[in-house]
Amino acid sequence: MKFMKLSWAAIVASLVLTPWTTQVQADGHTLLEKAMAGETVRIGFANEVPWAYPGEDNEPLGFVNAIATGILTEMGITNIEPVVTDWGGLIPGLNANRFDIITGGMYILASRCENVTFSEPIGVFGDAFIVPAGNPKGIQTYDDIRDMGAIIVTGAGYNIVEVAKRMGIEDSNIMQVPGPTEILAAVRAGRADAGGVTFFTARSLAAESEGEIDITDPSLLPEWTFNWVGIAFRHEDTDFVAAFNDALASWIGSDAMMAAVAEYDYTASQLPGDGKTEYACANR
């Protein structure tokens, strides 16, 4: 096990000096105490290439998993168990204690901040649409979809459902499916005119389609649709979140982190900059 960068003394001192109230688990120990004692920490994610997805034997792949597991290792936590579920089951699964952390690559949104506590951001990202090759309907924006009465397909629980409704697209024109595989299939089959996903996911799906799919320009979408991504925890695990954020502060953007995410095309342009979770929870 890698040497623990955050000593128990430092953690305990930080908790004494902060006003948080930490709720212990049923056995009388917090998640942080259990993790530091070597007990298993379960990370939950869906099959979202290149964000977070399972490899052989559910190996946690993707740049969000690389960042999260790197931070956990910096904390001295290496007993990690991956749990794979549908995107829509991530927040319910976390709060039902089926896993301890969501590493799926969630946007920090006000609606989600009500149900989970996010770490500080690990990146900032935009969305895009996938459309049939040549973009026959000329779809570039939500306005285009709304005005022509087109069908948009996206994932159940994706932020794009909220955005599409906010932009005036009728519920009947928003198709919700489990995830990227089904989004791509719907566009390929002509059941939907455009698929709403993150730009990173769109790029992956376009490559998978072997020329059948094009990607729209993400810069044409409203600025308020660009979002920060965080790692999600149960509200009661405040001591763990505090320790995680301490480790994140030194890990984010480091040479070691950038090397770990390079294969997934995460670059310095995705780093969160001055973005803060408090701001994102209030403004997204």
Question: CATH number of the domain at 8-124+227-283, out of 3.40.50.720, 3.30.413.10, 3.40.190.10, 3.90.550.10?
Answer: 3.40.190.10
Q: How far is Cα 79 from Cα 173, in angstroms, rounded to an integer?
A: 44
Q: Where are the domains of the chain?
A: 8-124+227-283, 127-225
pLDDT of the residue at 29: 83
pLDDT of the residue at 49: 95
Contact 193, 61 (CB under 8 A): no
Q: Are 8-124+227-283 and 127-225 in the same CATH fold?
A: yes
pLDDT of the residue at 59: 96
- The class of domain 127-225 in CATH terms is alpha beta
Across the 284 residues of the chain, what is the mean pLDDT of every consecutive 10-residue run?
37 39 58 95 97 96 98 97 96 97 97 98 97 98 98 97 97 97 97 97 95 96 95 97 98 98 95 96 96
Q: What is the pTM of this model?
A: 0.86
